[in-house]
Chain A
Amino acid sequence: MNRDKVLLPGKWVRWLFVFLFTVMAFTGFGQMPIFKRYYIADIPGMGWSADFFTTHIIHYLGAAIILGLFAYLAAEYALSIRRRYSLRPAGWVRVLILAGIVATGIVRVLKNLPDVTFSPGFTMFIDISHLVLMMLYLSAALLFTLTRQGWVRDRAPARPS
């Protein structure tokens, strides 16, 4: 393959990513008993948000799709993208926060399997870390969008001819 030609993810990836993160943030907050208390579930069409099993299923389903998407992007980066692009600091910050979200999410999924028992302190640490990392990611994503800092930069920017 030509060194300068690389496979980059299509625009659909960005939109899928934004959609999934919106859904995950909403259903993640919905794991706390707040949507019924604070009238979210009273909004027409939002009654489902007060059903903990529904939000849990959506959150799990979203997590499976996100894991697939992350693996796809990581593999595409390793196989192709890194030939020409490298992660910029703003990209590294995103990747590290996302890795933390995924890691704490995996531990929480493990805890929910039959007969997997964690101490209450560890469970609380995982739950709060997952929540804080997600809020951190949303803040970072907003900041990087406003300051126009993307994920990657060209390893060898084109020279003026």
Chain B
Amino acid sequence: MSKDISRRNFIKAGLAAAGGLTVSRIPLPNSVKGASPKELATLIDIRKCIGCEACVEACAWVNEVKFPEPEKPFPKMYPSRVKVSDWSDRRDVTDRLTPYNWLFIQEARVNVDGKERILSFPRRCMHCQNPPCADLCPWGAARKLENGITRIHSDICVGGSKCRDVCPWEIPQRQTGTGLYLKLLPSFAGNGVMYKCDRCYDRVARGELPECIDICPEQVQKIGPRDEIVKEAHAIAREIGGYIYGEKENGGTNTIYVSPVSFDELNKAIEKGPGRPHLDPVKDAMAHADNLAKAMVIAPVAGIAAAAARFFKSAGSSSGRGKEEDQS
């Protein structure tokens, strides 16, 4: 087991990521490469969580400056089937994800070693390694940072909620009446801004811990280089005969849960629905894109080969018996 992902190690990795962030502001591709060794992942040890919600309160407090202040009344939406999504008068909701609550505590009544227990654990964005929300966002508002954080730029997002539709856990939540869409065609396109956990990208860039990790009295969460976090998760799982979630889901995420009971059992016991994500197994949502990208490399080669074969066949069989057509 990795002895400890110390604050010093974390700060070193954070500073490296901050360097990456600075470079990524240059409006040009900053990396075209394989899996990044700079990705940071979090480990959530479900055994330790007491459900005190200190992380929930701290998240709301530290991210308050990022929360939306919508303009009311909202623009009339066309067609009328488009509904507004307004959480601005329900900012104190903490039992699910909302634009004002990016982290909540999920509870499951389960049997552990023959005894009934309520297990609690924080739920938020999983920060996928190949996030469909960032890949499929038509505006570039959602994107993955080199340090493994997936964030949504609230100044670019127009709130189409495609990110929520393609997210396997439907994490991002919309607030109407705020953001860029108000300056474009507010009645006909967009519907606000999508919000979700950004894993305190600004604090991480400064070499600080995400607030939910820093504040936790039980040290439920840890953050560190992904390979070390995965190793530690496996070591704990081996030690307790436990289970892991998030390592392989959706092709791999940067949020690794370790539990003493199976996630299948946990999934059956939790309340699921809008803003309350499941714990189902999840296939890699973007695998098709990676495979078809390979086909795009092969296709031009096949095209050239087909043209060359046609040309040489025609030249070889007779001098100029190819099909000739008039083309104006």
Contacts and interface: CB of A to CB of B under 8 A. Distances in A.
B145 A117 contact: yes
Interface stretch (A16-24, A92-100, A120-128): A120-128
B8 interface: no
Contact of B327 (A1, A85, A118, A125): A85
Contact of A71 (B36, B136, B293, B299): B299
Interface in A105-130: 106-107, 109-127
Contacts, number: 203
Contacts of A120: 140-141, 143, 153, 156
Contacts of A80: 311, 322
Contact of A123 (B140, B146, B293): B140
Contact of B299 (A10, A64, A118, A151): A64
Given A113-B290, A150-B328, A72 B135 contact: no
Interface residues of A, number: 64
A5 B320 contact: yes
Given A33-B161, A111-B135, A122 B29 contact: yes
Given A67-B303, A152-B327, A60 B25 contact: no
B289 A60 contact: yes
A38 interface: yes
B162 A33 contact: yes
Interface in B59-106: 79, 81-82
A114 B320 contact: no
Determine chain B's interface SS by DSSP, over half rule.
loop
B29 A110 contact: yes
Contacts of B295: 60-61, 64
A124 B307 contact: no
Q: Which of B26, B141, B288, B299 has the most CB of A within 10 A?
A: B299
Given A2-B320, A5-B322, A32-B160, A72 B289 contact: no
B138 to A, nearest CB: 5
A49 to B, nearest CB: 13
A151 B326 CA distance: 12
B308 A79 contact: yes
A81 B42 CA distance: 59
B327 A115 contact: no
B165 A33 contact: yes
Nearest to B302: A68
Contacts of A60: 288-289, 292-293, 295-296
A116 B33 contact: yes
A156 B79 CA distance: 57
A69 to B, nearest CB: 6
Interface in A32-87: 32-34, 37-39, 52-53, 56-57, 60-61, 63-65, 67-76, 79-80, 85
Nearest to A37: B82
Interface of A: 1-2, 4-8, 10-11, 31-34, 37-39, 52-53, 56-57, 60-61, 63-65, 67-76, 79-80, 85, 106-107, 109-127, 148, 150-153
Task: Rank and list the top 5 A-B pairs by shortest CB-CB distance, nearest first.
Answer: A123-B140, A5-B320, A71-B303, A75-B307, A68-B299
Given A5-B321, A8-B325, A116-B32, 10 more contacts: A52-B166, A68-B306, A70-B303, A75-B311, A80-B311, A112-B293, A122-B27, A123-B140, A150-B328, A153-B328
15 contacts: A7-B323, A8-B324, A10-B323, A32-B138, A57-B292, A63-B296, A113-B289, A114-B130, A115-B31, A115-B144, A118-B30, A119-B30, A120-B141, A122-B140, A153-B328
